[in-house]
Amino acid sequence: MSTVGERIKQGRNTKGMTQKQLAKKLGVSENYINDVENGRKVVEEKFIERVGKVLGGDLAEMTTLFDNIAYEERKSSESNLKTHNAAKANKVKETINEVWNDAFSSVLKSVGIYSYDLNKPIGKKELPVISNKIEGYAQDKVLYIKIENDDLLGFRICQGDLALANLTSEIENNKIYLMDINGERVIRQLKKLDSNKVLIISNKNMVRTETAHPKDIKVIAKLNRLEIQL
């Protein structure tokens, strides 16, 4: 029940009037009075003035009551608006944060660091993603390989260095690869001699070479860039 409704009901009962009698004097239906008293109808100031005259209440008091109620309603409305705006602002902030998180996840990607067996990552590094690629290669094909020995010391590739690589099974001339040969996984430079011969090069203390048929070599990844450890 609203404050206005309570005051009207209180005044009506004080006068010993029924809802029907009050409704008749005000020229409205009994249901209308019932709705007002139970807070289901919003009344205007003029109606309150008419009620005040019929019930013999203080007109100034009734007007003040109306003003107070209007003030409370405005305050409640403003409070609800502030709550709504705050909730909206929080939602916008959350959306912005999500956008930035998505943006950063698109700009940077974690690239795993692996030993030669490639079983599981032993670390990771963040690299930029440009045009949905990392260093020009598909994101799911890029990895770091931790150099395990000095077999290519002559090429300034030392144990502990990190080589950025991409998974591939194709041989390009004069490139360095992680590969399987003779039951061993190694990093070597490959040089094509012809369609049936490949020169396999290591360079620890001196250059060592051997020839093999391409079918005897299982290329796993091509090394593209070296990050040395100081």
pLDDT at 59 over 50: no
Closest-CA residue to 167 (of 178, 183, 152):
178
Q: Which domains does the chain have, with CATH numbers?
A: 3-99 (1.10.260.40), 111-227 (2.10.109.10)
**100-131, pLDDT tens digit by residue?**
666 555 688 999 999 999 999 999 999 999 88
**123-178, pLDDT tens digit by residue?**
999 999 988 899 999 999 999 999 999 999 999 999 999 999 999 999 999 999 99
Q: How far apart are the first and last CA of the chain?
A: 80
**82-98, pLDDT tens digit by residue?**
776 777 777 767 776 66
**Which pairing describes strands 123-128 and 133-134: parallel, antiparallel, or unpaired?**
unpaired
Asked if residue 164 lies in contact with residue 172, where contact means CB atoms within 8 angstroms, the answer is no
Beta bridge partners of 219: 179
Average pLDDT estimate for 63-75: 57
Residue 62 burial (CB count, 10 A): 22
Q: Calculate the dihedral angle through the C-alpha atoms of 178, 179, 181, 186, rounding to the nearest 10 degrees.
A: 10
| Cβ neighbourhood burial of 140 (10 Å; 0-12, 13-18, 19+) | exposed
Closest-CA residue to 39 (of 8, 12, 16, 18):
8
167 secondary structure, DSSP code: E
